[in-house]
Amino acid sequence: MRPPARLLYGAGLAAALMLPVAVPAQATSLARTPTALPAADGKKGQELPGMPSALDPRADEVVCTPASEEKAKKQDWSRQRLDLDRLHQHSTGAGVTVALIGTGVDPDAAGLDGRVTAEGTAADDCVGHGTFLAGLIAGTGGNIPRLAGVAPDAKILALRGTDRRGQPSAGLVAAAVREAAEARAGVIAVAVALPRRDKALTRAVAEAHRAGAVVVAAATPDPPARGSADEIPSRTYWPAGEPGVLSVADMLPAGTRPDSALPTGTVDLAAPGAGVVSGGPRGTGHYLGGGVAVATAYAAGAAAVVRATHPEDSAGAVTRRLTATAYPADIPQLDAYAAVTTVLGDSAAPAAGAEPAAETVAVRDTSGTDRATGRATLFVLLGSAGVLAVLWAGFALSRARARGWRPAEAGPPGKG
């Protein structure tokens, strides 16, 4: 018993439609968008004293930031975001000196293990902010290794760019940049931002570039304690605005900038800058800090681990690596692990055991393959049409035979 003609036709049509059509295979490149990590301490957060970036300039006397009696119990979100535990398996910044220009650094601070060089006023960190930043760059974390900085084996050259209360001065910053360049620091981190360009500072930054230093600077000052940042127009701050300087801004756990952030159009990189844990110059307790200087410290630490891993790279190449491997966003977001382990073009291979994460993809010439694929597609389509034509012919013949080979409009035989 033969199957009905309509069934044969339907089966053939379905088979023809299900034939594989050759189309170019396209690799989907997914953007490495970072997950918005919540604070590691939950909604409540760690109850730690805050670290100020400066002391009240109107106070009659200088009262230094007191020692913290509290210790952090958990790793904060920023270290998770930067994947420092995994980063330290590949680089800890050994052999690199980071010059930190800010309120000074206490050379005997916990977790810095005698790796701080500070002379004169640079060793007197009354505010505590510079020591806090030094912990983010090169701290070991003391008894809590997971609170280590980005480059825990790097050295710190502490230099003052502010007065004892933490108020910055163009003259002090320029002198500090020159001193850092003369000392051949591999990375120079300027934790302050000035509202006006200064000729001496411009020359000092140029000297630092000629000396081969990576210069990282805060893109803006911290927002004013009183009033609204919305009232302040967008502007360039210095030395972040100087050519070749890596300008850094702060970001929240969600990857956005704080609502109160001062506007500027000269930001190269964003890094964690809120709810960050580090130590201070007095005692062994911890503080919570934030702001653009905190983000700058993280970027400087990342520059140090890159320099340690790729010592042959120029300062410009280090800066490009930091920006090229960052999370894509309106402002690229620092990815210290990717900066160390990613293979960029013809640069050296990553550190031993490093994963080729976020490798830059070279687009190859696929014109020959595309032409071959086009021919295959045409062949399959023509073949499918042929199959359909044969099936339709078979269906038409079977119908004609059933009618006794009469035209479709003719009546059945014997009726006239």
Residues 369 and 337 in one domain: no
Asked whether the predicted pLDDT for residue 312 surpasses 80, the reply is yes
Q: Residues 6 or more apart from 109 whose CB is under 8 A from it? A: 116, 131, 134, 135, 279, 280, 281
pLDDT mean over 394-409: 59
Instruction: Check residue 224 and give its pLDDT.
Output: 85
Which of 341, 356, 389 delimits the end of a domain?
Answer: 341
The continuous run of DSSP H or E covering 262 comes out as none
Residues 100 and 241 in one domain: yes
Residues 379 and 323 in one domain: no
Long-range interactions of 347-354: CB distance < 8 A, separation 24+: 347/310, 347/313, 347/317, 347/321, 348/310, 348/312, 350/90, 350/309, 351/90, 351/91, 351/309, 352/90, 353/89, 353/90, 354/90
Tokens of 330: 């309106």
CA-to-CA distance for 116 and 140, rounded, in angstroms? 13
Instruction: Classify residue 63 by burial, with Cβ atoms within 10 Å: 0-12, 13-18, 19+.
Output: exposed
CA-to-CA distance for 69 and 72, rounded, in angstroms? 10
pLDDT digits (tens, 9 = 90+) for 230-245: 678 999 999 999 999 9
CA-to-CA distance for 229 and 247, rounded, in angstroms? 19
Cβ-contact 347, 313 below 8 angstroms: yes
Q: What is the count of structural domains for the chain?
A: 2
Does residue 51 form part of some domain?
A: no
DSSP 157-212: EEEE-B-TTS-B-HHHHHHHHHHHHHTT-SEEEE---BSS--HHHHHHHHHHHHTT
Average pLDDT, the chain: 81
CA-to-CA distance for 130 and 227, rounded, in angstroms? 26
Does residue 166 form part of some domain?
A: yes
Residues 83 and 192 in one domain: yes
Residues 149 and 284 in one domain: yes
The continuous run of DSSP H or E covering 272 comes out as strand 269-272
* 307 compared with 29, residue with greater pLDDT: 307
Does residue 300 form part of some domain?
A: yes
Does residue 37 form part of some domain?
A: no
pLDDT mean over 270-294: 97
Nearest to 240 by CA among 272, 170, 273, 193: 193
Q: Looking at residue 89, which CATH number applies to its domain? A: 3.40.50.200
Task: Domain of residue 395: give its range.
Answer: 5-21+365-402
Instruction: Check residue 402 and give its pLDDT.
Output: 60
Residues 374 and 330 in one domain: no
Strands of the 187-190 sheet, one edge to the other: 116-118, 155-160, 97-102, 187-190, 214-218, 246-251, 269-272
Residues 370 and 243 in one domain: no
Residues 392 and 326 in one domain: no
pLDDT digits (tens, 9 = 90+) for 66-122: 999 999 988 999 999 999 999 999 999 999 999 999 999 999 999 998 999 999 999
Q: How far, rounded to the nearest angstrom, does the alpha carbon of residue 25 sit from its chain's CA centroid?
A: 30
Does residue 414 form part of some domain?
A: no
Residues 209 and 321 in one domain: yes
The continuous run of DSSP H or E covering 341 comes out as helix 336-341
Q: How confident is the model at residue 276 (pLDDT cuts 50, 70, 90)?
A: very high
Q: Which amino acid is at 416?
A: G
Asked whether the predicted pLDDT for residue 355 surpasses 60, the reply is no
Residues 337 and 372 in one domain: no
Asked whether the predicted pLDDT for residue 318 surpasses 70, the reply is yes
Does residue 247 form part of some domain?
A: yes
pLDDT digits (tens, 9 = 90+) for 170-228: 999 999 999 999 999 999 999 999 999 999 999 999 999 999 999 999 999 999 876 65
Cβ-contact 189, 100 below 8 angstroms: yes
Tokens of 4: 């009905």
Instruction: Check residue 47 and give its pLDDT.
Output: 85
Which of 341, 356, 384 delimits the end of a domain?
Answer: 341
Residues 337 and 378 in one domain: no
* 143 compared with 124, residue with greater pLDDT: 124
Cβ-contact 82, 335 below 8 angstroms: yes
Cβ-contact 276, 136 below 8 angstroms: yes
Does residue 132 form part of some domain?
A: yes
Residues 112 and 9 in one domain: no
- State the Cα angle at 333 between 187 and 189, rounded to 5°: 20
Q: What count of other Cβ atoms lies within 10 Å of the Cβ of residue 386? A: 11
Does residue 97 form part of some domain?
A: yes
Q: What is the CA radius of gyration of the chain?
A: 33
